[in-house]
Structure 1
Amino acid sequence: MKRMAFACLGFNACAVGAFLIALPLSMSGANAQGNIDPAISADIEAYCTNIADAARDRRYLLQKQELDTLQAGIDERIGVLEERRAEYEDWLKRRNDFLQQAEQGLIDIYKGMRPDAAAERLENVNAEIAAAIIMKLSPRIASQILNEMDSQVAAALTSVIASAADETTSRNPS
Protein backbone atom coordinates (compact mmCIF):
# COMPACT_ATOMS: atom_id res chain seq x y z
CA MET A 1 0.00 0.00 0.00
CA LYS A 2 2.85 2.38 0.83
CA ARG A 3 4.50 1.68 -2.51
CA MET A 4 1.28 2.51 -4.37
CA ALA A 5 0.89 5.77 -2.45
CA PHE A 6 4.45 6.81 -3.30
CA ALA A 7 3.99 5.75 -6.93
CA CYS A 8 0.81 7.81 -7.17
CA LEU A 9 2.76 10.81 -5.97
CA GLY A 10 5.14 10.36 -8.88
CA PHE A 11 8.12 8.85 -7.04
CA ASN A 12 10.33 6.28 -8.71
CA ALA A 13 9.07 2.84 -7.67
CA CYS A 14 12.60 1.50 -7.25
CA ALA A 15 13.61 4.35 -4.99
CA VAL A 16 10.47 3.88 -2.92
CA GLY A 17 11.07 0.14 -2.70
CA ALA A 18 14.68 0.68 -1.74
CA PHE A 19 13.55 3.12 0.93
CA LEU A 20 11.00 0.67 2.30
CA ILE A 21 13.53 -2.18 2.37
CA ALA A 22 16.35 -0.07 3.70
CA LEU A 23 14.38 1.65 6.45
CA PRO A 24 13.95 -1.31 8.80
CA LEU A 25 17.27 -2.84 7.78
CA SER A 26 19.22 0.38 8.05
CA MET A 27 18.24 0.76 11.66
CA SER A 28 20.21 -2.35 12.40
CA GLY A 29 22.68 -2.47 9.48
CA ALA A 30 23.91 1.12 9.08
CA ASN A 31 27.18 2.25 10.51
CA ALA A 32 27.82 5.54 12.30
CA GLN A 33 28.37 7.48 9.04
CA GLY A 34 24.98 6.33 7.69
CA ASN A 35 26.45 3.97 5.07
CA ILE A 36 24.33 0.92 4.35
CA ASP A 37 25.78 -2.55 4.73
CA PRO A 38 26.78 -4.06 1.33
CA ALA A 39 24.41 -6.98 1.90
CA ILE A 40 21.51 -4.60 2.35
CA SER A 41 22.61 -2.66 -0.70
CA ALA A 42 22.55 -5.89 -2.71
CA ASP A 43 19.03 -6.61 -1.45
CA ILE A 44 17.95 -3.14 -2.53
CA GLU A 45 19.49 -3.60 -5.97
CA ALA A 46 17.87 -7.02 -6.36
CA TYR A 47 14.49 -5.56 -5.37
CA CYS A 48 14.81 -2.75 -7.89
CA THR A 49 15.83 -5.18 -10.63
CA ASN A 50 12.89 -7.48 -9.84
CA ILE A 51 10.21 -4.78 -9.89
CA ALA A 52 11.55 -2.64 -12.77
CA ASP A 53 9.49 -4.40 -15.46
CA ALA A 54 6.33 -4.48 -13.35
CA ALA A 55 6.69 -0.82 -12.45
CA ARG A 56 7.26 0.15 -16.08
CA ASP A 57 4.23 -1.89 -17.17
CA ARG A 58 2.08 -0.26 -14.49
CA ARG A 59 3.28 3.20 -15.52
CA TYR A 60 2.47 2.43 -19.18
CA LEU A 61 -0.96 1.13 -18.19
CA LEU A 62 -1.71 4.31 -16.22
CA GLN A 63 -0.56 6.45 -19.13
CA LYS A 64 -2.70 4.43 -21.56
CA GLN A 65 -5.74 4.83 -19.32
CA GLU A 66 -5.15 8.58 -19.14
CA LEU A 67 -4.75 8.78 -22.93
CA ASP A 68 -7.95 6.75 -23.41
CA THR A 69 -9.81 9.16 -21.10
CA LEU A 70 -8.43 12.16 -22.99
CA GLN A 71 -9.34 10.56 -26.36
CA ALA A 72 -12.91 9.94 -25.16
CA GLY A 73 -13.17 13.60 -24.15
CA ILE A 74 -11.83 14.72 -27.52
CA ASP A 75 -14.24 12.41 -29.37
CA GLU A 76 -17.13 13.84 -27.35
CA ARG A 77 -16.09 17.40 -28.15
CA ILE A 78 -15.72 16.55 -31.84
CA GLY A 79 -19.25 15.14 -31.79
CA VAL A 80 -20.59 18.35 -30.24
CA LEU A 81 -18.70 20.44 -32.80
CA GLU A 82 -20.07 18.34 -35.67
CA GLU A 83 -23.62 18.84 -34.35
CA ARG A 84 -23.06 22.58 -34.08
CA ARG A 85 -21.54 22.71 -37.56
CA ALA A 86 -24.59 20.92 -38.98
CA GLU A 87 -26.91 23.35 -37.16
CA TYR A 88 -24.90 26.30 -38.47
CA GLU A 89 -24.96 25.00 -42.04
CA ASP A 90 -28.74 24.52 -41.82
CA TRP A 91 -29.19 28.03 -40.41
CA LEU A 92 -26.91 29.50 -43.10
CA LYS A 93 -28.84 27.74 -45.86
CA ARG A 94 -32.17 29.03 -44.52
CA ARG A 95 -30.69 32.54 -44.19
CA ASN A 96 -29.32 32.50 -47.74
CA ASP A 97 -32.65 31.23 -49.10
CA PHE A 98 -34.46 34.03 -47.27
CA LEU A 99 -31.99 36.66 -48.50
CA GLN A 100 -32.35 35.43 -52.07
CA GLN A 101 -36.13 35.67 -51.86
CA ALA A 102 -35.94 39.09 -50.20
CA GLU A 103 -33.44 40.31 -52.80
CA GLN A 104 -35.62 39.20 -55.68
CA GLY A 105 -38.63 40.83 -54.05
CA LEU A 106 -36.67 44.07 -53.58
CA ILE A 107 -35.55 44.01 -57.22
CA ASP A 108 -39.16 43.48 -58.32
CA ILE A 109 -40.25 46.45 -56.19
CA TYR A 110 -37.71 48.79 -57.80
CA LYS A 111 -38.45 47.33 -61.23
CA GLY A 112 -42.12 48.31 -60.83
CA MET A 113 -41.44 51.86 -59.55
CA ARG A 114 -41.31 54.97 -61.67
CA PRO A 115 -37.64 55.85 -62.42
CA ASP A 116 -37.82 59.22 -60.63
CA ALA A 117 -39.30 57.65 -57.45
CA ALA A 118 -36.78 54.77 -57.50
CA ALA A 119 -33.92 57.26 -57.98
CA GLU A 120 -35.10 59.33 -55.02
CA ARG A 121 -35.25 56.23 -52.78
CA LEU A 122 -31.92 54.81 -53.90
CA GLU A 123 -30.17 58.13 -53.24
CA ASN A 124 -30.96 57.63 -49.54
CA VAL A 125 -29.74 54.02 -49.38
CA ASN A 126 -26.19 52.86 -48.69
CA ALA A 127 -24.19 53.20 -51.93
CA GLU A 128 -23.18 49.54 -52.04
CA ILE A 129 -26.76 48.36 -51.56
CA ALA A 130 -28.06 50.82 -54.14
CA ALA A 131 -25.37 49.69 -56.60
CA ALA A 132 -26.28 46.05 -56.00
CA ILE A 133 -29.94 46.79 -56.68
CA ILE A 134 -29.14 48.72 -59.85
CA MET A 135 -26.87 45.89 -61.07
CA LYS A 136 -29.76 43.41 -60.70
CA LEU A 137 -32.13 45.55 -62.77
CA SER A 138 -32.28 45.41 -66.55
CA PRO A 139 -29.93 47.91 -68.23
CA ARG A 140 -32.87 49.95 -69.58
CA ILE A 141 -34.48 50.39 -66.12
CA ALA A 142 -31.10 50.95 -64.42
CA SER A 143 -30.18 53.69 -66.92
CA GLN A 144 -33.53 55.43 -66.41
CA ILE A 145 -33.04 55.40 -62.61
CA LEU A 146 -29.45 56.65 -62.84
CA ASN A 147 -30.63 59.39 -65.25
CA GLU A 148 -33.11 60.64 -62.64
CA MET A 149 -30.52 60.68 -59.80
CA ASP A 150 -28.35 63.53 -58.65
CA SER A 151 -25.22 63.42 -60.84
CA GLN A 152 -22.82 63.03 -57.90
CA VAL A 153 -24.81 60.11 -56.40
CA ALA A 154 -25.10 58.48 -59.83
CA ALA A 155 -21.34 58.86 -60.35
CA ALA A 156 -20.64 57.30 -56.94
CA LEU A 157 -22.93 54.36 -57.71
CA THR A 158 -21.33 53.93 -61.13
CA SER A 159 -17.92 53.88 -59.45
CA VAL A 160 -19.07 51.18 -57.01
CA ILE A 161 -20.51 49.11 -59.86
CA ALA A 162 -17.34 49.50 -61.93
CA SER A 163 -15.09 48.53 -59.03
CA ALA A 164 -17.25 45.45 -58.35
CA ALA A 165 -16.74 44.35 -61.95
CA ASP A 166 -12.98 45.02 -61.85
CA GLU A 167 -11.13 41.71 -61.52
CA THR A 168 -7.99 43.42 -60.20
CA THR A 169 -9.81 44.75 -57.13
CA SER A 170 -8.74 42.76 -54.10
CA ARG A 171 -11.40 41.19 -51.90
CA ASN A 172 -9.07 41.59 -48.89
CA PRO A 173 -7.76 45.15 -48.93
CA SER A 174 -5.35 44.45 -46.06
Structure 2
Amino acid sequence: MMDRIDCKIRFSLAGTATLATFLAAVPVGTAVAEDVAALAPPAGGATQQEIQQFCTSIADPARDQRYLLQKQELEKLQAEVDQRIGVLEQRKAEYEDWLKRRNDFMQQAEVNLVEIYKNMKADAAAPQLEKIDPVLAAAIVMKLPARQSSQILSEMNAEKAAIVAGVMSSAADPTTSRDPS
Protein backbone atom coordinates (compact mmCIF):
# COMPACT_ATOMS: atom_id res chain seq x y z
CA MET A 1 0.00 0.00 0.00
CA MET A 2 2.82 2.38 0.91
CA ASP A 3 4.46 1.69 -2.47
CA ARG A 4 1.33 2.84 -4.30
CA ILE A 5 0.99 6.01 -2.23
CA ASP A 6 4.69 6.81 -2.68
CA CYS A 7 4.37 6.27 -6.41
CA LYS A 8 1.32 8.54 -6.67
CA ILE A 9 2.99 11.31 -4.69
CA ARG A 10 6.10 11.18 -6.82
CA PHE A 11 4.10 11.37 -10.04
CA SER A 12 1.79 14.08 -8.70
CA LEU A 13 4.72 16.25 -7.65
CA ALA A 14 6.56 15.77 -10.91
CA GLY A 15 3.50 16.20 -13.11
CA THR A 16 4.90 14.73 -16.29
CA ALA A 17 7.79 12.92 -14.62
CA THR A 18 9.87 10.69 -16.77
CA LEU A 19 10.52 7.04 -16.04
CA ALA A 20 14.18 7.80 -15.38
CA THR A 21 13.26 10.21 -12.59
CA PHE A 22 10.98 7.65 -11.00
CA LEU A 23 13.52 4.81 -11.24
CA ALA A 24 16.16 7.00 -9.60
CA ALA A 25 13.83 7.62 -6.64
CA VAL A 26 12.74 4.00 -6.08
CA PRO A 27 15.34 1.35 -5.05
CA VAL A 28 15.01 -1.30 -7.72
CA GLY A 29 17.47 -3.81 -9.18
CA THR A 30 18.15 -4.44 -12.86
CA ALA A 31 15.60 -7.24 -13.21
CA VAL A 32 12.93 -5.11 -11.55
CA ALA A 33 13.96 -2.09 -13.64
CA GLU A 34 13.28 -4.09 -16.82
CA ASP A 35 9.82 -5.03 -15.49
CA VAL A 36 9.10 -1.41 -14.60
CA ALA A 37 10.31 -0.18 -17.98
CA ALA A 38 7.89 -2.56 -19.70
CA LEU A 39 5.05 -1.20 -17.56
CA ALA A 40 6.00 2.48 -17.92
CA PRO A 41 3.27 5.03 -18.62
CA PRO A 42 3.51 6.98 -21.85
CA ALA A 43 5.91 9.90 -21.84
CA GLY A 44 4.41 13.32 -21.48
CA GLY A 45 1.16 14.04 -19.64
CA ALA A 46 0.07 10.79 -18.08
CA THR A 47 -3.53 10.46 -17.00
CA GLN A 48 -4.53 9.71 -13.43
CA GLN A 49 -5.66 6.23 -14.48
CA GLU A 50 -2.31 5.49 -16.17
CA ILE A 51 -0.43 6.69 -13.10
CA GLN A 52 -2.62 4.49 -10.88
CA GLN A 53 -2.04 1.47 -13.11
CA PHE A 54 1.71 2.10 -13.26
CA CYS A 55 2.03 2.50 -9.48
CA THR A 56 -0.02 -0.63 -8.87
CA SER A 57 2.09 -2.59 -11.36
CA ILE A 58 5.47 -1.74 -9.84
CA ALA A 59 4.48 -2.03 -6.17
CA ASP A 60 5.21 -5.77 -5.91
CA PRO A 61 8.56 -5.71 -7.77
CA ALA A 62 9.74 -2.76 -5.66
CA ARG A 63 8.70 -4.50 -2.44
CA ASP A 64 10.43 -7.71 -3.57
CA GLN A 65 13.62 -5.79 -4.24
CA ARG A 66 13.55 -4.22 -0.77
CA TYR A 67 12.99 -7.66 0.77
CA LEU A 68 15.92 -9.02 -1.21
CA LEU A 69 18.19 -6.21 0.03
CA GLN A 70 17.04 -6.81 3.62
CA LYS A 71 17.67 -10.54 3.24
CA GLN A 72 21.20 -9.91 1.96
CA GLU A 73 21.91 -7.61 4.92
CA LEU A 74 20.59 -10.23 7.36
CA GLU A 75 22.75 -12.92 5.75
CA LYS A 76 25.80 -10.65 6.10
CA LEU A 77 25.00 -10.05 9.79
CA GLN A 78 24.47 -13.79 10.35
CA ALA A 79 27.89 -14.51 8.86
CA GLU A 80 29.48 -12.00 11.26
CA VAL A 81 27.67 -13.57 14.22
CA ASP A 82 28.79 -17.05 13.13
CA GLN A 83 32.38 -15.82 12.91
CA ARG A 84 32.22 -14.39 16.43
CA ILE A 85 30.70 -17.62 17.74
CA GLY A 86 33.61 -19.48 16.17
CA VAL A 87 36.12 -17.28 18.00
CA LEU A 88 34.27 -17.82 21.29
CA GLU A 89 34.21 -21.58 20.76
CA GLN A 90 37.95 -21.52 20.04
CA ARG A 91 38.62 -19.62 23.26
CA LYS A 92 36.36 -21.99 25.18
CA ALA A 93 38.37 -24.93 23.82
CA GLU A 94 41.61 -23.21 24.88
CA TYR A 95 40.24 -22.66 28.38
CA GLU A 96 39.09 -26.28 28.65
CA ASP A 97 42.54 -27.41 27.49
CA TRP A 98 44.19 -25.18 30.12
CA LEU A 99 41.84 -26.52 32.81
CA LYS A 100 42.63 -30.12 31.83
CA ARG A 101 46.38 -29.45 31.92
CA ARG A 102 46.01 -27.80 35.33
CA ASN A 103 44.03 -30.76 36.69
CA ASP A 104 46.57 -33.20 35.28
CA PHE A 105 49.31 -31.13 36.89
CA MET A 106 47.62 -31.32 40.27
CA GLN A 107 47.19 -35.07 39.97
CA GLN A 108 50.89 -35.62 39.22
CA ALA A 109 51.68 -35.33 42.88
CA GLU A 110 50.19 -38.61 44.03
CA VAL A 111 49.15 -38.98 47.60
CA ASN A 112 51.90 -41.52 48.39
CA LEU A 113 54.65 -39.32 46.99
CA VAL A 114 53.38 -36.32 48.91
CA GLU A 115 53.28 -38.39 52.09
CA ILE A 116 56.94 -39.35 51.60
CA TYR A 117 58.00 -35.70 51.31
CA LYS A 118 55.69 -34.70 54.15
CA ASN A 119 57.64 -36.98 56.49
CA MET A 120 61.05 -35.70 55.32
CA LYS A 121 62.98 -32.82 56.82
CA ALA A 122 63.26 -29.72 54.66
CA ASP A 123 67.06 -29.91 54.32
CA ALA A 124 66.76 -33.50 52.99
CA ALA A 125 63.78 -32.89 50.67
CA ALA A 126 65.13 -29.71 49.05
CA PRO A 127 68.11 -31.28 47.16
CA GLN A 128 65.87 -34.07 45.85
CA LEU A 129 63.21 -31.69 44.62
CA GLU A 130 65.89 -29.59 42.89
CA LYS A 131 66.84 -32.59 40.75
CA ILE A 132 63.36 -33.59 39.53
CA ASP A 133 61.19 -31.88 36.94
CA PRO A 134 60.22 -28.40 38.20
CA VAL A 135 56.56 -29.03 37.34
CA LEU A 136 56.46 -32.18 39.44
CA ALA A 137 58.41 -30.49 42.24
CA ALA A 138 55.92 -27.62 42.25
CA ALA A 139 52.99 -30.05 42.38
CA ILE A 140 54.51 -31.82 45.38
CA VAL A 141 55.36 -28.60 47.21
CA MET A 142 51.81 -27.29 46.62
CA LYS A 143 50.33 -30.35 48.32
CA LEU A 144 52.51 -30.02 51.41
CA PRO A 145 51.52 -27.86 54.37
CA ALA A 146 52.45 -24.19 53.85
CA ARG A 147 54.99 -24.15 56.67
CA GLN A 148 56.85 -27.21 55.34
CA SER A 149 56.68 -25.89 51.73
CA SER A 150 58.29 -22.61 52.75
CA GLN A 151 61.05 -24.43 54.65
CA ILE A 152 61.79 -26.65 51.63
CA LEU A 153 61.86 -23.67 49.24
CA SER A 154 64.22 -21.80 51.57
CA GLU A 155 66.60 -24.79 51.58
CA MET A 156 66.59 -25.07 47.77
CA ASN A 157 68.97 -23.31 45.40
CA ALA A 158 67.51 -19.81 44.82
CA GLU A 159 67.28 -20.27 41.05
CA LYS A 160 65.52 -23.65 41.31
CA ALA A 161 63.21 -22.35 44.05
CA ALA A 162 62.24 -19.41 41.81
CA ILE A 163 61.38 -21.76 38.95
CA VAL A 164 59.27 -23.96 41.23
CA ALA A 165 57.52 -20.90 42.70
CA GLY A 166 56.84 -19.58 39.19
CA VAL A 167 55.23 -22.86 38.17
CA MET A 168 53.17 -22.86 41.36
CA SER A 169 51.91 -19.31 40.81
CA SER A 170 50.95 -19.93 37.17
CA ALA A 171 49.11 -23.12 38.12
CA ALA A 172 47.14 -21.34 40.85
CA ASP A 173 46.17 -18.33 38.69
CA PRO A 174 42.71 -18.96 37.12
CA THR A 175 43.09 -15.98 34.79
CA THR A 176 46.08 -17.48 32.99
CA SER A 177 45.51 -17.59 29.23
CA ARG A 178 47.76 -18.14 26.28
CA ASP A 179 46.01 -15.39 24.32
CA PRO A 180 45.70 -12.13 26.31
CA SER A 181 43.34 -10.52 23.75
Structure having greater relative contact order (Cα 8 Å, sep ≥ 6): 2
TM-score (structure 2 length as normaliser): 0.40
TM-score (structure 1 length as normaliser): 0.41
Larger Rg: 1
